Structure 1
Amino acid sequence: MTQLLATASRSTYLPRHEPGECIGFDDFELFPTARVLKRYGMPLPLGSRALDILIVLVGRAGQVVSHRELISRAWRGLVVDQGNLRVQINGLRRALGEGAAGARYIANIPGQGYCFVAAIERSGASGPTVLPPLDYALR
């Protein structure tokens, strides 16, 4: 297995979120600065690494985020295997109920990384913004 050193690089783009910003998708609300994910208004228990990964993916919805970038965000300064990332992604998919009733949130782009593909709506001080879902055939 390939091991990667999780270090933040200057080229790594980490989304910036406004205080109080809410990113909605399906029945979920993600509050990045508060580090809370809610479904039907109830907080969902997510580990800190899974939450870090989700915040990056949702913050860059529609863009492929490399394995290296996700690892550098969730495992700052640690050497980890890509298998650790896969475990966290699978846990996120389970927590989000991906696959149930056709729900799809995280696409695997082989050899590149992962992409958040569900439609999102951002709300905050700057007003609402809606991004439509993407159609990635690869998973």
Structure 2
Amino acid sequence: MGTTPRSIQSLLHTATPDMADLIGRARFLERMRQSILDILPEQAAAHVHVAAYEGYRLRLHVTHGGWATRLRYMQPMIVQALAQRMRLHVEGVEIKVRPNPMPAPKPVTARIMGDDARRHLRQTARYIGDADLAAALERLAAAGRPG
């Protein structure tokens, strides 16, 4: 009937030469990004992306104007890092602000509730005439981790 599922990695490796060129280009840009991030603070990793390297010009996208200013001051160091680590000749660096279309997910915070609070919610639920509200209080008392 059907064929067995194949991993995306195996499909990419058996793809057309155009796809292989695209994958090689993506890997090259990622190596450039890592070389640049080696000289930047750790916080920059989520904010700096290498968009292109064409005609000896490097284009970087950053998420905030503050990072753009910081990288503009560091342009000579970026050019030097790429020359030393990747043997690349860079005549200019263009920095553009491109906010992330999807913000980073908010960290999950554990809801901690003490035993007294749980007992109080359950007692309150027993005396509530509204069944939906009572059920919501019971769910709230059951939620979260013990304190």
Q: TM-score range by the shorter chain?
A: under 0.3
Point out which structure has higher relative CO (alpha carbons under 8 A, 6+ apart).
1
Structure (1 or 2) with the greater helix fraction: 2
Name the TM-score, length of structure 1 as normaliser. 0.26
Larger CA Rg, structure 1 vs 2: 2
Structure (1 or 2) with the greater strand fraction: 1
Name the TM-score, length of structure 2 as normaliser. 0.25
